[in-house]
Amino acid sequence: MKRLLITGAAGGLGTAMRTRLAHMADTLRLSDIADMGAAGSNEELVRCDLSDAAAVDALVEGCDGIVHFGGVSVEKPWSMIRPANIDGLYNLYEAARKHGQPRIVFASSNHAIGFYRQTERIDARAPTRPDGLYGVSKVFGEALASMYHDKFGQETAIVRIGSSFPEPKNVRMLSSWLSYADFVRLIERVFMVPRLGCPVIYGASANSAGWWDNAHASYLGWVPQDNAETFREGVEAQGGRPAADDPDAVFQGGSFTADGIHED
């Protein structure tokens, strides 16, 4: 494609994907509210607050695909979540509607379903069970994507990312880990398949201890290759196992389920 937009480009995933997705487009348009450093040869840098509708409209114009990482990525007060994850999502989808409906990868989260127990195996049809205001904002984003698909034909890959870091950091992440390489493979498939639709995809590697079934998205042809199990020994040696009644051992969303409402 000609131009791929990555929002949240200054963040953890944005930084990791900036080089790893460079092969997918002639130009990467990178955007964040924070500093993104210097532009590489095939990069355009655009400072943009997602809550600014006019700025988001200009940001999306001319893009053939969007990987949407931007926003608040953990539990925070509603006054922080609302502008970035609620208004920001609406602004993005309105801009996409007006500018040719580029395919969108929406970085949803396991915290949209965080109150399922780790003993349960769920698939894309499981009702959402958000584990905090952050998770609720991701459920809103998923609903928005669904509505723009049904009403306007906008295609979105709703990726309920587990834990996407260089390595799993604790025992829970041995189930939820998504390697960067598997995430790249997924994003490639999203922009390659002739028909995307609006699938819910659990963003996890082929972890032996995984909780999620991606059968409903099998038509994408995404086959994750990595397995967090290879890190088990190191993870258990470093952090130990959580107690059986620790939220990190009980719920898929882990400690987020035990977090209160963050007030201003």
Point out the residues that are catalytic: 134
Residue closest to 137 by CA, chosen among 50, 211, 64: 50
Indicate which of ligand NAI, ligand 15L, none lies near residue 176 (CB less than 5 to 8 Å, by partner kind). ligand 15L
88-98 vs 133-152: helix crossing angle, rounded to 10: 20
Residue (103 or 138) nearer to ligand 15L, CB: 138
- Indicate whether 111 belongs to the interface with ligand 15L (CB under 6 A): yes
Query: How far apart, in whole angstroms, are the C-alpha atoms of residue 136 and residue 144?
Result: 12
β-partners of residue 30 are 6, 45
Residue (92 or 95) nearer to ligand 15L, CB: 92
Strand 156-161 vs strand 212-213: parallel, antiparallel, or unpaired? unpaired
Q: Can you tell me which of 7, 31, 51, 163 binds ligand 15L, judged by CB under 6 A?
A: 163
Helix or strand or coil: residue 162? coil
- Indicate whether 156 belongs to the interface with ligand NAI (CB under 6 A): no
Query: How far apart, in whole angstroms, are the C-alpha atoms of residue 227 and residue 231?
Result: 8
- Indicate whether 168 belongs to the interface with ligand NAI (CB under 6 A): no
Residue (8 or 102) nearer to ligand 15L, CB: 8
List of residues contacting ligand NAI (CB under 6 A):
8, 10-14, 32-34, 49-51, 69-73, 83-84, 88, 107, 109, 161, 163-165
